Structure 1
Amino acid sequence: MNYYILFYDLNDNYLEERGQYRAEHLGMAKEAAEKGQLVLGGAMDSPADQAILIFRGNDEKLARDFAENDPYVKNGLVKSWKVRKWNAVIGSKFEE
């Protein structure tokens, strides 16, 4: 299994606009977490200009599919996004 980081660059209105899409977004995230696909996720603070979601899987498709179906992305709260493979080597939950 590999790790993939989904990076979101958030629009300036992210905090004001996210409420109407938050339940659907968090529902998707919870489902992915329950399946063991999403390891961690959240927005940066002060300023809330980026978010990071860490996925675990065979390839980056999980992370890409999440972004392509995320209501935050679909409704313009995310300016841009990208997925990068992360070569994690150590940590309390790391499994090789």
Structure 2
Amino acid sequence: MNYYILNYKLADSYLNDRGKYRAEHLGMAKEAAEKGELILGGAMDEPADEAVLIFRSENDKIAKGFAESDPYVKNGLVKQWEVRKWNAVVGSKIDN
């Protein structure tokens, strides 16, 4: 298994506009977490200009699919996103 970081660059209106889409977004995140795909996720604070979600899967398709389906992305709360493989080497979730 590999780790992938989904990084969101958030729109200036993110904090004001997220309420309309928050339940759907969090529902997707909880479902991915229950499947063991999403390990951690959340927005940066002060300023809330980025968010980071860490996925665990065989390839980057799970993380990319999440972003492509996310109502935050679809409705302009995320102005840019990218998925990068993360070569994690230390921690309690690492399979060595």
**Residue aligning to 2:14:** 14
Distance 2:27 2:95 in 1: 26
Distance 1:3 1:12 in 2: 28
Measured against aligned partners, the alpha-carbon deviations of 1:27-57 in whole angstroms (never above 9, x if no partner) come to 0000000000000000000000000000000
Distance 1:42 1:64 in 2: 16
Note the residue ranges of structure 1 that are not aligned, 5 or more in a row. Answer: none
Identity %: 73
What's the TM-score, normalizing by structure 1? 0.98
**Residue aligning to 2:92:** 92
Shift of 1:68: 0.1
Q: How many residues align?
A: 96
Amino acid corresponding to residue 73 of structure 2 in structure 1:
V
**Runs of 4 or more above 3 Å deviation:** none
**Residue aligning to 1:46:** 46
What's the TM-score, normalizing by structure 2? 0.98
Distance 1:55 1:32 in 2: 9
Secondary structure of the equivalent of 1:90? Answer: coil
Note the residue ranges of structure 2 that are not aligned, 5 or more in a row. Answer: none
**Residue aligning to 1:30:** 30
Distance 2:75 2:2 in 1: 29
The alignment's C-alpha RMSD in Å is 0.6
Amino acid corresponding to residue 87 of structure 2 in structure 1:
N
Distance 1:63 1:79 in 2: 17
